[in-house]
Structure 1
Amino acid sequence: MEVNLINASEEELLASVSGRVDATNAEELYDALNELREAHPQGTFVLDGEKMDYISSAGLRGLLRLQKKEKQKIGIVNLSLEVMEIFEITGFADILDVHRKLRSISIEGCEKIGQGANGQVYQLTKDSIVKVYLPQTRMEDIKRERDLAQRAFVKGIPTAITFDVVEVGECKGVVFEMLDAVSLAAVINEHMDRFEEYADEYVALYKTFHQTRVEGKDFPSVKDIYDGYIDGCKDWYTPEELEQIRSLVRSVPDRDTLIHGDFHVRNIMVQQGELIMIDMGDVSYGHPIFDFLATAATQANLVELNPEYAVVHTGMPVETIKRLWTALLQKYFVGKSQEEIARIDKQIRFFSKLKVALAPVVGAGAPQEIIEASVQDAKANLLPHIKEWIGSIDW
C-alpha cells in the first residue's frame, strides 16, 4: 500500500492510494492521509483510487475516522468496479463521495449542437448527446448539476437526465439519452417561417420555471450563487466596487420561484417537438429577473457590446437575437401596456449588466478580450448608476 500527494491547492487536496489496503496496513493508511491533511487543510479532500486493488473493513474504518474530521464528504475517484462494489455493499458509497473510473469516449467527428457557460454539447449517437465540461470543472460540480436537474425534473421541468459520466480527453462529460436532439437556436434558424410558434414555446418554458414554487432545502438561493460569483471577481474590482455590485443583488425582492440561471436558446434542445432544458448547474430559487438578466446579457447587452461574439454565443444572427428578445418581453408580459413593458425592458437591461460585470467567473470560457471589455463596460455603465436602480424592481 502506498500514499502519494498529487496536488494541493485552496480548492482541493488530491492524493493517490495504491495497492491492497487490509488489516495489516490500515493504520498506516490512516496515518499517512491524516498527516497529508494536517499539512494541507484547505479544499476538498479527494483520493485517487485508480491503483487501489482492495480495501478491507479495517481500511474503511480508517477512512471513516478521517471523514469525521471533514466538513465535506471525502471524494474517492477512479475506482475499479470490484473496489467500487465494496464501497456500495458496505454503505460507504453513501458516507463518502465515491466514483468508479470513468468510461473514456471521443467526440471526434461529432456535431456540436449546443453551448452553455460551463461546457459544450455534442451529438454522440443518434439517440444520445454528451455535455463536455470545461477542463477546470470539478466532479462535485458535475454531481451537483445532475442532482439539481433531477430535482427540477420531479417538479415538472422538462430537462434531460444523465445516465453516465465519462472522460472526454482531459475533460469530463455527462451523457444524456436524447433522440435526434437539436438546439432551439438551430431549429429557429432553419425554420424562420415558424418563428412565432417557437417563440411561444420558448416563453411557455420560461413560464413553466417561474410558475414553479420550490423550497429552500431543495434548491440554492440565486443570491447565494451571485455572492459566489462576486467573490470570484476580487482580482478585477476593488473591495468597494464588489460591495456595490453585491448591494444591487441584495436589493432584488426575494421570491420562491424556480430559476434556471442561464436561460438562452443554446441551452434548450428540441427533441421530437418538445423543448428540453439542459445546463442545470445554476438552477436555484429567486426573483424571475435573474433569468431575464441572464438572457438579456447576450440577447440585449452583448449583442450591442460585441455583435460578432453574441452570434457565436447564441448561434443566431443579430436580427434574430433582437427579434427573440422583443418576442420574449411581449409574450411573457402580455396584458401590460407598451409603456410598462418598455420600463421593464430598461430595468432588465440595466440589471443584466450584473452578468456582464461578473464575466471573469460566469464567462470563464470566453476570450480574454471579451472578459476585459465586459469588466470595463461594467465600470463605465453599471457601477456609477447602481444607487439609482436599487429598490426599482416592483414586479
Structure 2
Amino acid sequence: MTTQLINNEGEATLTLCGRLDTAVSSQVSADINQLLATAGTIQHLTVDAGQLEYISSSGLRILLMLAKRFKQFRITEVNTEVYDVLSMTGFTKMMTVERALRQLSVDGCEVIGVGGVGTVFRLNDDTIIKVFREGTTMDEVRKEITMSKEAFVMGMPTAISFDMVRVGSQYGLVYELLHAQTLSACLKQAPERVDELARKYAGLFRQMHAIQVPADSCVPDALEHERNQVMHIRRYFPQEKIDLLLQLLDTVPASNRLLHLDLQAKNAMIQNEELMLIDMGEVGYGHPILDLAHAYSAMVSLVGDYEKIIGIPRELGTELWNRAIDYYFEGLPADVVALRKEQIKALSCVRNFSWLALSDSFPETVINECRALFDERVTRHREQLLQVCQTLKDWE
C-alpha cells in the first residue's frame, strides 16, 4: 500500500494505491499524518481512490478521520467494489464520494463540432459526446451539466447529459439526441433553406433573451465572466490593449437575461425541425448584446479555420447571421436596427480575443494571428468603437 500527497496552493490530492486492509492501516495512517504535517496549509483535500483496490473497516476509520479534519473533503475515482463498501457503511451520505468514470473511445467517430473547450463527436444515431480539452477539471464539466439543467428548467430546449465519462485522460459528456443534426450540417446539406433556418436561429435567441434569470439562480454573471476572461489574456497582450477591451465592456448595461454566449451554428441542434441548445459551459445572465456579440464573433469575424470550427463556408455562415439578425430585430425602425448592428459588431471585438482564455493550450500560431489582428480590428478604430459602445445605454 502506497500513499502520495500533492498540495497545489491549498488544493491537495492524496493518492491511495493498493489494498487498505487491517494489516497496513496503522502504517498508512502514520504515513498520511506525516505527509499532512509537512504539506503546508490545506483548505481542500481530495482522496484519489483510482488505484485503491480494497478497503477494510480500519481503512474506513482513516477516511472518517480525514473527513472530520477537512471541511472540504471528497473521495474520487472510486471503483465499484470500494464504492459498495462506502455506500453500505453510510459514507456516501456523510461525504462526497465519486465513482470512477467509465471509459469510452471516439476512434472512427464523426466530428460534428470543434470549439475552444472541446470537440463533439457522434457516437451513433442516438448519442453524441463532447470531449473536453486536456486539462479541463471535473468541476468545469459539472458546471456545464448544471447550466444545461438550469436553462432547461427555465424553459429553453436544451440537451441534457445523461453520463459523464472518460475518453483516454480527458473528460466527456454523453448526450442523447435522437436523429438530430447541427444547424451547420442541415444548412450545408440544404443551403436553399438559409432563410427558414435563419428565422429559427433568431427565434432561439429571442426565446432565450426573453427569460429573466432569478436572483437565487446559480447561473453566473456573464459580464463579470467576460471581464475575467479579458484579464486572463494579459499573458498575450500589453496592458493598454487589455484596458481598451475593458473600456468596451464597461459600456454594457446591466441586465438579467439568459445568455448562451457561444450560440454559433454548431451549438444548435435540429431535432424534429426544432432547434435546441448544446454546449452550455458558458451560460450566464446579462444584457443580450453580449450574447449577440459573441455569436457575431463566431459567425462573421471568427479568427481561425472557419469551415472546421463552424462547419460551413464563411459566406454561407455570414448570410445565415445577416438574415437571422434581421429577424431578431424584426418590427424595429430601420435606423434602430442599423445602430444595433453597429453595436453588436463593435462589442464583438472583445470576444475576438477573449476566447483565448478558454484554454491555455492553443497553438502559438493562433495566438500570433490574434495579436496581429488586434491592431487592425481594435486599435485603429479605438475612438469609433468607444463611441458606438457608448450608445448602448439607450438599448433597453
Name the residue aligned to 2:123: 124
Name the residue aligned to 2:344: 348
Distance 1:15 1:157 in 2: 40
The residue identity in structure 1 corresponding to 2:49 is G
Name the residue aligned to 1:207: 206
- Counterpart contact for 1:159–1:278, Cα < 8 Å: yes
The residue identity in structure 1 corresponding to 2:313 is P
The Cα offsets for residues 21-68 of structure 1, whole Å up to 9 and x where unpaired, read as 7774685365245336416x59x6433211222265523332323432
- Counterpart contact for 2:265–2:299, Cα < 8 Å: no
- Counterpart contact for 1:358–1:375, Cα < 8 Å: no
Q: Secondary structure at the match of 2:173?
A: strand
Change (3 A) 1:153 1:238: same
The residue identity in structure 1 corresponding to 2:329 is F
2:40 to 38, 41, 58: 38
Name the residue aligned to 2:3: 3
Distance 1:229 1:331 in 2: 30
**Deviation for aligned residue 1:178:** 1.6
- Counterpart contact for 1:27–1:62, Cα < 8 Å: no
1:336 to 325, 332, 335: 332
The residue identity in structure 2 corresponding to 1:211 is A
Distance 1:98 1:91 in 2: 11
- Counterpart contact for 1:116–1:279, Cα < 8 Å: no
Distance 1:61 1:363 in 2: 37
- Fraction of identical pairs, as percent: 28
Change (3 A) 1:271 1:284: same
2:70 to 64, 67, 70: 67
Instruction: State TM-score, norm by structure 1.
Output: 0.87
1:182-197 superposed matches below 5 A = 182-197=181-196
| Structure number, greater radius of gyration | 2
- Counterpart contact for 1:299–1:321, Cα < 8 Å: yes
- Counterpart contact for 2:342–2:388, Cα < 8 Å: no
- Counterpart contact for 1:128–1:179, Cα < 8 Å: yes
**Deviation for aligned residue 1:75:** 4.5
Q: Secondary structure at the match of 2:262?
A: coil
Distance 1:131 1:366 in 2: 18
Q: Secondary structure at the match of 1:103?
A: coil
Name the residue aligned to 1:233: 233
Change (3 A) 1:94 1:118: farther
Which segments of 5 or more consecutive residues in structure 1 lack a partner in the other structure?
none
Change (3 A) 1:101 1:148: same
The Cα offsets for residues 96-138 of structure 1, whole Å up to 9 and x where unpaired, read as 5532111111111111122332111111122111111111111
The residue identity in structure 2 corresponding to 1:348 is I
Distance 2:38 2:143 in 1: 27
1:170-319 superposed matches below 5 A = 170-218=169-217, 219-302=219-302, 309-319=305-315
Distance 1:139 1:11 in 2: 18
The residue identity in structure 2 corresponding to 1:313 is I
1:358 aligns with 2:360: no
- Counterpart contact for 2:113–2:309, Cα < 8 Å: no
Q: Secondary structure at the match of 1:322?
A: helix
Instruction: State TM-score, norm by structure 2.
Output: 0.87
The residue identity in structure 1 corresponding to 2:172 is G
The Cα offsets for residues 206-243 of structure 1, whole Å up to 9 and x where unpaired, read as 11210111124321000221132123212122344333
1:327 to 323, 328, 341: 323
Distance 1:213 1:340 in 2: 23
Q: Secondary structure at the match of 2:50?
A: coil
**Deviation for aligned residue 1:324:** 0.9
Change (3 A) 1:225 1:25: farther
Distance 1:353 1:94 in 2: 48
- Counterpart contact for 1:104–1:168, Cα < 8 Å: yes
**Deviation for aligned residue 1:387:** 4.0
The residue identity in structure 1 corresponding to 2:70 is Q
Stretch moving more, 110-119 or 87-96 = 87-96
- Counterpart contact for 1:216–1:285, Cα < 8 Å: no
How many residue pairs get aligned? The number is 384
